[in-house]
């Protein structure tokens, strides 16, 4: 069950407009809109996104009023403060959303890229051309900015999209959808290219998950419960991502002097504290036993930032001897995605033990801090995760930071897309074969 929905079952507020057409009819309309977008020139898509940004600014009053209704309903329903904060918009955040749409419009358009034709012995010329996936279904929770971010990425990659946000965002998403539709229709493009399911009933989400004759991919953004629900209930292919344990392994070679200890502590603190609720925030720190000189400084730095450190017996004893109080780790603290100011800590005997531990618990983002290029290369080759990082924070596993401009989600599966999903990951390829009358013998 999506986290927000768990808290918000009592929230019944809906937009003043009547409930929409059925989810199936939305799929029919999205499929037709997707056909119109499929071969749209880049310049038309850029103009559409610029029009959306302008309409968001022009309609800011209505959008913020709708968001205020959601915030008040969320407070009345008892949503925790951090979820209300994620839900809330103001003039500055709405301007940021509009600017992000413009940023997507400046990204390279992958649609239409074609490999060099290869002539086969039969004389046919064969190439591959990049094309949109078609119709996307995106299911997410509290953040209204996701509505616009996903719409912009879908449109720029030539896809239509059906969006299902949490019930706590129902007014905000309706207002954002209206602004996007107005902008698209002003550009003589189908407004049905971006549709929001406004009925918060869970049955509507289940209908979307089973619309396999009209929807090409489901992309959930949320907690493990949401992802599991989608996988278990969908007949549409689901691109799973955003969940997974993040590790940092501190190799002994990284620590040569006190400045290196400070640098390691800075990376670890950034990984845990900069945005602890993010899927690419640190969960487990593995420290080479030969690098124990850095343990007390790193633990102190984490504690100073309010992090609860859960340490294995060896680390706990070392820290106790140094007068540093941490929590003894339970076995369940390893392999846990905390999404909060909590981190587990474990001492390992070296790279091999670290690799074995990550193989058992990782798949999202894993980091090695090392001065040894052979150790770094071994880590890169052995660790089978969506992103492997050397000597930097795991927070860099992000579409914007990796040069994609934006992302729909971070995929942790291996089919089609892995890691941050930007424009290219919202496309696929088709074979193009050109002949001169050949027949197959």
Domain formed by 3-239+421-431, architecture: 3-Layer(aba) Sandwich (3.40)
Residue 79 backbone zone (phi > 0: left; psi -120 to 50: alpha; other: beta)? beta
Topology adopted by domain 245-403: Aldehyde Dehydrogenase; Chain A, domain 2 (3.40.309)
3-state SS, residue 219: strand
Place 129 in a pLDDT band, splitting at 50, 70 and 90.
very high
Question: Is 313's pLDDT higher than 90?
Answer: yes
Q: According to the model, what pLDDT value does residue 242 have?
A: 63
Residues 411, 97 contacting (CB under 8 angstroms): no
3-state SS, residue 311: strand
Beta bridge partners of 220: 139
Residues 179, 56 contacting (CB under 8 angstroms): yes
What are the residue boundaries of the structural domains of the chain, listed by start?
Answer: 3-239+421-431, 245-403
Q: According to the model, what pLDDT value does residue 306 have?
A: 97
Question: Is 142's pLDDT higher than 80?
Answer: no
Q: According to the model, what pLDDT value does residue 3 have?
A: 38
Percent helix, strand, coil in the chain, to 5, is 45, 20, 35
Q: Tell me how far CA of residue 257 lies from CA of 254, 265, 297, 370, in angstroms.
A: 9, 13, 13, 13
pTM for the full predicted model: 0.82
Q: According to the model, what pLDDT value does residue 411 have?
A: 86
Question: pLDDT digits over 398-428, tens only?
Answer: 888 888 877 888 888 777 888 888 899 999 9
Return the ∠ at Cα 93 (arms to 91 and 97), rounded to 5°: 115
Q: Which of these, 433, 435, 406, lies nearest to 422 by C-alpha position?
A: 406
Residue 162 belongs to what H/E stretch? strand 160-164
Supply the mean pLDDT for the chain: 91
Q: According to the model, what pLDDT value does residue 20 have?
A: 63
Q: What is the mean pLDDT of residues 274-299?
A: 94
Q: According to the model, what pLDDT value does residue 413 have?
A: 78
Place 18 in a pLDDT band, splitting at 50, 70 and 90.
very low
Q: Tell me how far CA of residue 212 lies from CA of 33, 208, 234, 235, in angstroms.
A: 17, 8, 8, 6
Residues 218, 209 contacting (CB under 8 angstroms): yes
What's the token pair of residue 225? 């419960």
| CATH fold match for the domains 3-239+421-431 and 245-403 | no
Q: According to the model, what pLDDT value does residue 8 have?
A: 37
Return the ∠ at Cα 35 (arms to 107 and 112), rounded to 5°: 40
Q: According to the model, what pLDDT value does residue 222 have?
A: 78
Q: According to the model, what pLDDT value does residue 4 have?
A: 38
Residues 248, 267 contacting (CB under 8 angstroms): yes
Q: What is the mean pLDDT of residues 357-379?
A: 95
Instruction: Please state the separation of Cα 208 from the chain's center in Å.
Output: 20
Per cent of the chain over pLDDT 70 is 95
Q: According to the model, what pLDDT value does residue 397 have?
A: 93
Listed range (106-120, 172-186, 236-250, 380-394) with the worst mean pLDDT: 236-250
Question: pLDDT digits over 178-212, tens only?
Answer: 999 999 999 999 999 999 999 988 999 999 999 99
Q: According to the model, what pLDDT value does residue 247 have?
A: 97
| Beta strands in 279-384, from DSSP E residues, in sequence order | 284-288, 308-311, 327-328, 342-348, 362-369
Question: Is 14's pLDDT higher than 50?
Answer: no
């Amino acid at each position: 069950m999506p986290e927000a929905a768990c808290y918000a079952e009592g929230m019944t507020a809906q937009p003043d407009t009547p409930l929409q057409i059925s989810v199936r009819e939305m799929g029919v309309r999205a499929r037709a809109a997707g056909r119109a977008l499929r071969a749209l020139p880049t310049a038309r898509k850029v103009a559409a996104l610029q029009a959306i940004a302008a309409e968001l600014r022009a309609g800011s009053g209505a959008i913020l009023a709708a968001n205020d209704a959601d915030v008040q309903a969320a407070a009345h329903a008892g949503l925790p403060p951090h979820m209300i904060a994620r839900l809330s918009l103001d003039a500055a955040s709405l301007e940021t959303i509009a600017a992000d749409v413009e940023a997507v419009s400046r990204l390279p358009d992958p649609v239409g890229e074609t490999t060099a034709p290869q002539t086969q012995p039969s004389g046919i010329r064969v190439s591959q051309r990049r094309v949109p996936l078609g119709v996307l279904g995106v299911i997410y929770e509290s953040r209204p900015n996701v509505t616009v971010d996903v719409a912009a990425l879908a449109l720029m990659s030539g896809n239509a999209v059906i969006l299902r946000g949490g019930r706590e965002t129902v007014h905000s998403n309706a207002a954002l959808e209206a602004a996007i539709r107005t902008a698209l229709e002003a550009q003589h493009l189908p407004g049905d290219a971006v549709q929001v399911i406004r009925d918060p009933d869970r049955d509507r989400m289940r209908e979307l998950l089973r619309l396999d004759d009209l929807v090409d991919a489901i992309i959930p953004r949320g907690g493990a419960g949401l992802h599991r629900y989608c996988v278990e209930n969908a007949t549409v292919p689901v691109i799973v991502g955003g969940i997974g344990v993040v590790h940092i392994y501190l190799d002994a070679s990284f620590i040569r002097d006190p400045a290196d200890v400070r640098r390691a502590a800075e990376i670890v603190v950034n990984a845990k504290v900069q945005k602890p609720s993010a899927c690419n925030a640190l969960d487990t720190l593995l420290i080479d036993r030969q690098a124990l000189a850095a343990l007390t400084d790193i633990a102190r730095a984490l504690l100073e930032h309010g992090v609860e450190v859960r340490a294995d017996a060896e680390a706990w004893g070392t820290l106790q001897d140094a007068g540093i109080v941490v929590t003894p780790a339970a076995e369940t603290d390893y392999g846990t995605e905390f999404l909060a100011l909590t981190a587990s800590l474990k001492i390992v005997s070296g790279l091999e033990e670290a690799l074995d531990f990550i193989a058992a618990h990782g798949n999202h983002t894993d980091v090695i801090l090392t001065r040894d290029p052979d150790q770094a290369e071994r880590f890169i080759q052995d660790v089978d995760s969506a992103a492997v990082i050397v000597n930097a924070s795991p927070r860099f596993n992000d579409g914007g930071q990796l040069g994609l401009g934006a992302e729909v989600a971070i995929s942790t599966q291996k089919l089609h897309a892995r890691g941050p999903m930007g424009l290219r990951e919202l496309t696929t390829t088709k074979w193009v074969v050109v002949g001169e009358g050949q027949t197959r013998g």
